[in-house]
Every structure is written in C-alpha cells, then in structure tokens.
Amino acid sequence: MERTLPFAEMVRRRMESRGLGLREFCRGVDLDPSFFSKVLAGKRSPPSEDDVLRRIARFLELDACELIVAAGRIPREWDRLWTDRPLLEAVSRLCAPGIRRTESAAPAAVRPPPRAQGLGPRAQGLGPRAPAPKAFGDELL
C-alpha cells in the first residue's frame, strides 16, 4: 500500500505539475504567500482549518480527505469513527496490528478530542483551567 505524501510535498508536486507559482496558487486559495512559503519549506505547519484545506484540494484537484490526512487532521467525513465502535476497532486493528485492546476504552490514538465530544477539558474534569494570559505590560515587569 502506498503511503500518502507529506502535505508540503503533495502540494508542491501538484503546483509544479500544473505550472503554478506560489503567488498564483495563494491568490487562487486566498492564502498569504509568506505564510504558505514557510509551510512548503517545512518551517510552519499546514493550515489547520478544514475549509482552507478543502479550498487547496479543490484548487489543485486533489482528494480532500487525503490532503487533510497529510496535514495531520481527521476529515469530517470520518466522524463515524467516534460513534461506530466496530468501525473504530477495525481501523485500530489495521493501524496497529497485534496490539490487544481492552473492551472498556477506545484506543488513545483515535479517541476524539474534547471539542469533538462537545465538552472542553475543564468541563470533563481533565485538568485545571490554564492561567489567564498576562497582559503585554505584565511580561515586561
């Protein structure tokens, strides 16, 4: 089975094959060229917003799910993973064969983030609230 290319490589190859320069590409997907240049160079992470990744995929005629996964995100089309226990277990077996799982807990690698469950970490009792950010002037003192 062929592995998905890293996000930057996938985008760079498609831009080259279509003869697109950075500025032309960024105009087409409404992104800042300076930011995206750093993404392509591996100095910044890919965009995290689903709609931005889908715009990129549509513009470059790439599979949206494949691009989203290459960016390290879970596509919304895969939401059934969080609610369909047999499907989750089947995916877990494919991703980590030979590892025994207990019946009581979903594998940590595919457990939905708190926001996907509708509750933040504080509401779930998963830890103390982070301290409020200091004002800029407080940092100087």
Per-residue pLDDT tens digits for 40-55: 999 999 999 999 999 9
pLDDT of residue 79: 86
Where are the CATH 1.10.260.40 domain residues in the chain?
7-73
> Distance between CA 9 and CA 13 in Å, rounded?
6
Q: For 67-82, what is each residue's pLDDT tens digit? A: 999 999 989 888 888 8
Class of domain 7-73: mainly alpha
Q: Give the mean model confidence (pLDDT) for residues 50-64.
A: 96
Sign of CA dihedral 128, 113, 36, 71: positive
Crossing angle between the packed helical segments 50-60 and 7-17, to the nearest 10 degrees:
30
d(CA 27, CA 29): 6
